[in-house]
Structure 1
Amino acid sequence: MEIQKKLRPVMFVGTSSDVGKSVITAGFCRIFKQDGYSPAPFKAQNMSLNSYATPEGLEIGRAQAVQAEAAGIPCHTDMNPVLLKPTNDQTSQVILNGKSIGNQSAKEYFLSNDRTELFEEVKRAWKRLASRYSPIVMEGAGSISELNLKKRDITNMRMAIAAGAATYLITDIDKGGIFASLYGTMALLEPEEKACIKGIIINKFRGDSALFQEGKKIIEGLCGVPVIGIIPYFKDIFIEEEDAVSLRLKRNQPVNGKVNIAVVLLSRMSNFTDFDCLDKDSRVNLYYTHTKQGIAQADIVILPGSKNTIEDLIEIRNNGLADAITKAHQSGKTVIGICGGYQMMGETIKDPLQIESAEGEVAGLGILPVETTLLSEKTTRQCHFTYRNFPENCIGYEIHMGETRIRGAVQPVAFLDEKHTDGYLLSEKCWGSYLHGILDNQVVINDLIAPYTDLKIEYVDYLQFRSAQYDKLAVLLRENLDIDQVYQNIKD
């Protein structure tokens, strides 16, 4: 790709996790695209159960795929060379340049000598990306002042220095304590790290930001860098969230007059963005639940994906949710499963290589006549398909380590091409599929909720909807941040 104008990279780091780094990074990707540049996102290391398949069939963090979409380019593994996918509280699957290199405990990963080589891999990915795009819009991870991790850091200030990035520190005022967190963060930086910081962004401000002008001056005096803007708290711009932290805070009750859809809130739930489009349908009330009552009150129950299907299956058996799901199916309610949820709905899940669990084999819910064997090779690919007998073209993607065999006649949910099908259709009210993003397609949503409502809505192109959200986000950032100051710091 020919780059018309070369700019220095810009990086957005945080005083903590969940301060809005991913969303702001996406917003700047769209701003630079609008201004005629060729931006690309970059996050050296991501820890998330939300992942995505690149066009080449490799795996990266979903947030970087979203940011690439905002930049108007295909996602690539160079945008997120290291992805950690937690399998339990102490172990993660390590994805390097889009492919799994096995599971490691936190101790093995963070204390091993491999971190040196990982940092070299990360820098190589960054250089490849920087040779194709400009500016590179970089994102940090968590807090930049974790002193016990800084020597082994491959994603925050060490990466900012290596890239020569103009760096902006983001804090979330809605959490409170920003004076201490900003001052403390800056005070703990080494001189060469502090030199990278060109400004501070205060995010999620409620009320009139004019009332915070004195606070802004105090922060600038304490930290020695300008506050380049105060971004208001917003609820009318829909950008995919990176982590599932906020799911437990979302509404969790049925609503009269709506089609109530309960997503089972698994401990190791992955790819929760599968339900974003469904959540925005005006006919639907979607909620996340880990209670039997929440399942019993729903019209439709969805078993989502899981990074550790076996352990999540054992957990829902122990807490009674499995029985509640089975009863919902037996009473004629709609029950569907996606990826790991599809595997759970089958008769058995075998794990001969103990990829996910020491359990060699566990019984599934027995709703679908399928059995799954977990394999070491992961399937990752983007898919075009048709759903059931509908003619509309649909899109989705697969990320799974299991191979599912159907007992008896094949009754697919989706047709990928002449030779390949996906999932198992027991009835219009019960099916399972490996396809993440299947519910981003209007034809699937309409069919799913048809038994419960006669209301029709105008067709929504979800890709166009997302593009409009990036544009709205860009407007918000332009109105509330000193974009000229950013350009001054990244122009050669």
Structure 2
Amino acid sequence: MVALMLQGTGSDVGKSVLVAGLCRAFANRGLSVRPFKPQNMSNNAAVTADGGEIGRAQATQAIACRVEPSVDMNPVLLKPQGDRTSQLIVRGQVRGTLAAARWREGREGLLVDVLDSFERLSAGCDLVVVEGAGSPAEINLRAGDIANMGFARAADVPVVLVGDIDRGGVIAAIVGTRAVIDPADAAMIHGFLINKFRGDPALFDDGYRAIEARSGWRGYGVVPWLADAVRLPSEDAVILERPAASAQRRVTIACPITPRIANFDDLDPLRLEPGVALVMVPPGTPIPEVDMIVLAGSKATIPDLAFVRAQGWDIDIRAHHRRGKPVLGLCGGYQMLGRSIADPDGIEGPAGRVDGLGLLDIDTVLTGRKTLERVRGRAQGAAFEGYEMHMGATTGPATARPAGHRADGSPEGATSADGLVSGSYVHGLLALAEQRAAWLARLGVASSGPDHSASIDAALDAIAATLERHVDLDALLALSERAGHRQRD
């Protein structure tokens, strides 16, 4: 087994993108590569061919390796449902709901699952590129850790530390990590990468040498700002807090940001369209007058629906509908558009029933069984491909006017009698260019964007080419190979 792990000085330093880029770069060299993340926390997930779910970033990294995603690539996934509870996914399947207070005690037992998945994945490839979570410098979380050094030491995988120079303080972040972590953990780190550099890298030469001298670790390169990363599906909700670049667009589509918004990468394909401005509406801001409103998925539909009402967005959505403009609900957003949502077993919180927005003649009952299924079919007269990932069953008269049909002919989703409101359980509904074009034609805009998968693939190749120029990939590969020799010895 040959493996290499990237850990970060903090969250959002670019580990996911770098792992994806390294996976594509090494795959382009002819190696059989696999991504791995022991533990992830995200409400953006993807469905694997064998009916499990993993973090969206690992699915993208699998694409970078040109292989099918597998549940072994992300054996532990936490999906936050509230401020202090998360759904626990182990090897692609729901294992229950976990309170934050119980996580420290419960995670240590998951190391067996993590190592089993890692060994199974490693057996079928030349190289595994591993992504850590958060930072090893969070020493208050070290006991029982399975995401960073707990895994690295248990699996004997060498680590390279990633620092984000764009946020500032990267010298202190890397040297400080060396200062606070346990010496045995520090011994697992063999070097560092500087990420998100803007300008002339030569300006950082002195800083680079200072890090090497003060940490005792060697540098493997300075990665420039990767503009192509914006074309990759985002996993972290932090991206929703960043304002979109202004541009002259023909139509505007808005999506309100709820606290437990999930799979918001469903909207990424709209960013490929030069005629479309996508506005993510933050809390405290009314939904502006736009051409179309999309309600995205949610990990906790009933609490998010209450939040929609508290923000007054329900009033904005109804006013938008009265103006004769379309509304699309995806997964949890689809459920919100109905007459009611019932949670008799208390899956999302206290058991009960709430009124929906009433724009679709449907009712949803949340159940313990989770639907995890890849789907394809036709809607709006065009092909779609995606996956379903939801808990609950939706019925009602509006389902007799389906939003589309699956490949087997069964109906999917629902449409209002006036044709303005549609709901679908299909994540990735807008990914295919012809499906996206059908929706945009309703708004009077001709689509000119590619399939989302083609855009992702081109971005991965561009990122890999940049890493080839700016990172010592031969040295990283040699580091991973030395680890493999050590394990065999």
**Shorter-chain TM-score: which interval?**
over 0.9
Aligned residue number for residue 443 of structure 1: 434
Q: 1:223 to 1:424 in 2, by over 3 A?
A: same
1:490 aligns with 2:476: no
Distance in 1 of aligned mates of 2:16 and 2:202: 26
Q: 1:452 to 1:201 in 2, by over 3 A?
A: same
Q: 1:125 to 1:291 in 2, by over 3 A?
A: closer
SS in 2 for 1:296: coil
Distance in 1 of aligned mates of 2:251 and 2:182: 54
Distance in 1 of aligned mates of 2:411 and 2:399: 13
| 1:418 CA drift (Å) | 3.5
Aligned residue number for residue 374 of structure 1: 366
| 1:358 CA drift (Å) | 1.4
172-181 or 191-200: which moved more? 191-200
1:149 aligns with 2:141: yes
Aligned residue number for residue 411 of structure 2: 421
1:202 aligns with 2:189: no
Q: 1:66 aligns with which of 57, 60, 63?
A: 60
SS in 1 for 2:287: helix
Q: 1:295 aligns with which of 283, 287, 302?
A: 287
- C-alpha contact 1:344 1:365 (8 A) present in aligned 2: yes
- C-alpha contact 1:202 1:230 (8 A) present in aligned 2: yes
Aligned residue number for residue 338 of structure 2: 346
SS in 1 for 2:6: strand
Distance in 1 of aligned mates of 2:113 and 2:143: 17
Amino acid at match of 1:262: A
Alpha-carbon RMSD: 1.7
Q: 2:455 aligns with which of 451, 458, 465?
A: 465
Distance in 1 of aligned mates of 2:447 and 2:138: 51
Q: 1:308 to 1:486 in 2, by over 3 A?
A: same
Aligned residue number for residue 211 of structure 1: 203
- C-alpha contact 2:362 2:397 (8 A) present in aligned 1: yes
Aligned residue number for residue 265 of structure 1: 257
1:25 aligns with 2:19: yes
The TM-score normalised by the length of structure 1 is 0.94
Distance in 2 of aligned mates of 1:464 and 1:451: 24
| 1:240 CA drift (Å) | 2.0
1:246 aligns with 2:246: no
Distance in 1 of aligned mates of 2:195 and 2:279: 27
Q: 1:409 to 1:103 in 2, by over 3 A?
A: closer
Distance in 2 of aligned mates of 1:127 and 1:455: 48
- C-alpha contact 2:153 2:188 (8 A) present in aligned 1: yes
Unaligned runs of 5+ in 1: 1-6
| 1:246 CA drift (Å) | 1.6
Aligned residue number for residue 37 of structure 1: 31
- C-alpha contact 1:290 1:321 (8 A) present in aligned 2: no
| 1:437 CA drift (Å) | 0.2
Amino acid at match of 1:436: H
Distance in 1 of aligned mates of 2:408 and 2:23: 38
Q: 1:159 to 1:36 in 2, by over 3 A?
A: same
- C-alpha contact 2:362 2:399 (8 A) present in aligned 1: no
- C-alpha contact 2:399 2:413 (8 A) present in aligned 1: no
Amino acid at match of 2:193: I
1:136 aligns with 2:128: yes
Q: 1:408 to 1:219 in 2, by over 3 A?
A: closer
Q: 1:256 to 1:21 in 2, by over 3 A?
A: closer
- C-alpha contact 1:25 1:139 (8 A) present in aligned 2: yes
Aligned residue number for residue 4 of structure 1: none
**CA shift digits 1:393-435 (9 cap, x unpaired):** 3210111001000226611112113452210022553200000
| 1:162 CA drift (Å) | 2.1
Count of aligned pairs between the two proteins: 480
Distance in 1 of aligned mates of 2:412 and 2:344: 23
175-184 or 420-429: which moved more? 420-429
| 1:53 CA drift (Å) | 0.6
- C-alpha contact 1:179 1:219 (8 A) present in aligned 2: yes
Aligned residue number for residue 155 of structure 2: 163
Distance in 1 of aligned mates of 2:244 and 2:62: 30
Aligned residue number for residue 348 of structure 2: 356
- C-alpha contact 2:212 2:219 (8 A) present in aligned 1: yes
Distance in 1 of aligned mates of 2:2 and 2:185: 17
Amino acid at match of 1:336: L
Distance in 1 of aligned mates of 2:309 and 2:324: 21
Distance in 2 of aligned mates of 1:365 and 1:317: 9
Amino acid at match of 1:62: R
Distance in 2 of aligned mates of 1:274 and 1:437: 5
SS in 2 for 1:314: helix
Aligned residue number for residue 465 of structure 2: 475
Identity %: 39
1:318 aligns with 2:310: yes
SS in 2 for 1:127: helix
| 1:359 CA drift (Å) | 5.0
Q: 1:18 to 1:88 in 2, by over 3 A?
A: same
- C-alpha contact 1:271 1:305 (8 A) present in aligned 2: yes
1:89 aligns with 2:80: no
Amino acid at match of 2:134: G
Q: 1:236 to 1:59 in 2, by over 3 A?
A: closer
- C-alpha contact 1:252 1:289 (8 A) present in aligned 2: no
Distance in 2 of aligned mates of 1:451 and 1:394: 17
SS in 2 for 1:174: coil
| 1:134 CA drift (Å) | 2.2
Distance in 2 of aligned mates of 1:13 and 1:356: 33
| 1:257 CA drift (Å) | 4.1
- C-alpha contact 2:286 2:316 (8 A) present in aligned 1: no
- C-alpha contact 1:239 1:466 (8 A) present in aligned 2: yes
Aligned residue number for residue 3 of structure 1: none
- C-alpha contact 1:292 1:324 (8 A) present in aligned 2: no
Aligned residue number for residue 189 of structure 1: 181
- C-alpha contact 2:20 2:61 (8 A) present in aligned 1: yes
Distance in 1 of aligned mates of 2:135 and 2:339: 44
241-250 or 218-227: which moved more? 241-250
1:12 aligns with 2:2: no
Distance in 1 of aligned mates of 2:152 and 2:195: 21
Distance in 1 of aligned mates of 2:162 and 2:248: 40
| 1:130 CA drift (Å) | 0.9
| 1:330 CA drift (Å) | 1.4
- C-alpha contact 2:437 2:446 (8 A) present in aligned 1: no
- C-alpha contact 2:56 2:235 (8 A) present in aligned 1: yes
Distance in 1 of aligned mates of 2:284 and 2:68: 41
Distance in 1 of aligned mates of 2:399 and 2:55: 36
Unaligned runs of 5+ in 2: none
- C-alpha contact 1:43 1:155 (8 A) present in aligned 2: yes
- C-alpha contact 1:428 1:448 (8 A) present in aligned 2: no
